[in-house]
Amino acid sequence: MVLCPVIGKLQHKRVVLASASPRRQEILSNAGLRFEVVPSRFKEKLHKASFATPYAYAVETAKQKALEVAGRMHQKDLRAPDVVIGADTIVAVGAMILEKPVDKQDAYRMLSRLNGKEHSVFTGVAIVHCCSKDGRLDTEVSEFYEETTVKFSELSEELLWEYINSGEPMDKAGGYGIQALGGMLVEYVHGDFLNVVGFPLNHFCKELARLYYPPRPADLRRVRHDSIPAVDTFENLSDSEAGGADPGQSAKGGRGGEQADGDRSQAPRALDAALNGADSRPRFPTGLLELMDGFKASKVLFTACKLKLFDVLKDQGPLQAVDVARKLSTCAGRTEQLLDVCAALGLLEKTRRGYSNTEVATLHLVSDGEHSLQGVAEYNDAHVWGVFTRLGLAVREGAEQTRGALGAMEEERLSQSRELTLQFMRAKHSLSKLTAHHVATAFDLSRFASACDLGGCTGILARELAQEYPRLQVTVFDLPEVTELSGGFQRGGRQTERIRFVPGDFFKDSLPEADLYVLSRMLQDWPDDKLHKLLSRISSSCKPGGGLLVAEAAAEEEGASQSPRLRTLSAGQPRSPDEHRRLLQRHGFQDVRVARAGDLLCVVLGTRAAP
């Protein structure tokens, strides 16, 4: 048995399971592992939307559970356990995570969503090795996840409620327990059954064996990636549209498959030295290789959007690859590879019946959806991609070249075709729909009777302002070619009576009169000379007591996300609240206040002082 040699290494160690789950305890006990149970007090309130995939959320939750127990036990007696095991099991339908239902109605909603469909069960596992040095706790974390696909039969309302009234769903992720009555709901399981019960024993055993007996380099080269198609199937394409993520590298678990080459969860340094003697070999740089391959995932997404792949699957899925290729007029073999990688990235669901959109794809990647980001994908592919290919030049030529990159791209856009302008407008329209409400409500603007949105493009923010403040008259001031095309983005409603579009150049023409001027996601795109010229013109047009509302990307310390601010490479470094205050005060605005607007933006409001 795989675990037996590992038990010999752990039998004199203090092993703790950071979970009260009787199912996990039973699985590990039956495997012969001796441990004590200390349930974690970690509040499972991580922001799900901030994780790129459901399994990333499960892994992070498992890690935080284990670290909380390790820290608490160390605080209690200044001696931490040797090993703490944390786990978190979730059910996911596409990108939507289903955890434990809060009541019977919630359980019904979950089970109805699963009824007759395939879904994924993910368990994230963290193995924390602890040691105490000079009263301080040191930890090293190894983590992984396992995915199992489960298919529910078509179930009647009567059967669903009979199961819910049994009480079993209430403490189960996804609202069912496969090891008990919930097993009658399940048509088939692909993958590790125990993973659905609550703990992926087989993968856990492999992880322990790998931690204590790291594979030789020759073994690493023989690892197979059976669960997800390798991205190198695209790399011999002559078509420049080819490209994609390397799911074989990026996935930590897969459906019962092996780990990616040299997973970043290598044996802890102290433990490795104790078991294997002094070994100077560096850890395998999987994370770095994943980073190098990251551009492929973006190109796969951009290509799928450009082909309108998600539109085809919106109403007609699930479809087999050959049917998708016929509708797109593309090569069947290459289309299947593209579909497989999209499925591995969580954009599509793949079943025996074919491919269909995940919920996030239907919501954001279908071109005619209310919350579609199709325009953003197309614009990034056509233009921002090119900006980043010139990054070396920008870095060599200095900060101003970098800060002005998007501004220069904007000027380039205006000199080119109508289609290019429409692409820009579609991208800005999509992003504005995500942020406009947050910007409009960051402050109480009811004291203003009129507003002018400079560079307001399709008028999304203007519409939100008019809806939020019933007496506000709003002017959208943008270039003639933009205002000419803006009609194609409008929809009816009483708010439109209080919105007008005025063509003009805010660097050259007189600004429309208004009590409040608005700049949303504009200042960061311009070099300093143009930025100060624009603010000076606004200050001259704004009457004492009038206002300037600025919405810009939040500085990193403000933002909810801790991911790298890649946008700063093409549009300048986000300003801190103090920098915003100084900038507006320099141009005659006082009482400058700063507020957050959602996860990405900060909003600044300044009042024009008397001259």
Residues noted as catalytic: 88
Q: What is d(CA 575, CA 591) in angstroms, rounded to the nearest whole number?
A: 18
Token pair, residue 188, equals 């088939």
Q: What is d(CA 91, CA 114) in angstroms, rounded to the nearest whole number?
A: 10
Compute CA distances 12 → 7, 33, 207, 270, whole Å: 9, 12, 19, 17
Token pair, residue 510, equals 């007189």
Token pair, residue 447, equals 């004291």
Q: At what angle do helices 332-344 and 321-328 cross, to 10 degrees?
A: 110
Burial 174-186 (b: 16+ CB within 10 A, else e): bbbbbeeebeebb
Residue 493 CA, chain-centre distance (Å), reads: 33
β-bridge pairing 354-357 and 348-351? antiparallel
Dihedrals phi, psi of 430, to nearest 5 degrees: -65, -45
Three-state DSSP class for 416?
A: coil
Q: At what angle do helices 157-165 and 104-114 cross, to 10 degrees?
A: 140
For residue 105, the 8-state DSSP code is: H
Interacting residues of 106 by C-beta distance below 8 A, sequence separation 6+: 175
Q: What is d(CA 143, CA 130) in angstroms, rounded to the nearest whole number?
A: 14
Q: Position of tokens 């001027």? A: 517
Q: Which amino acid is at 41?
A: R
β-bridge pairing 499-503 and 473-478? parallel
Q: Is the CB of residue 471 less than 8 Å from the CB of residue 441?
A: no
Radius of gyration (C-alpha) of the chain in whole angstroms: 28
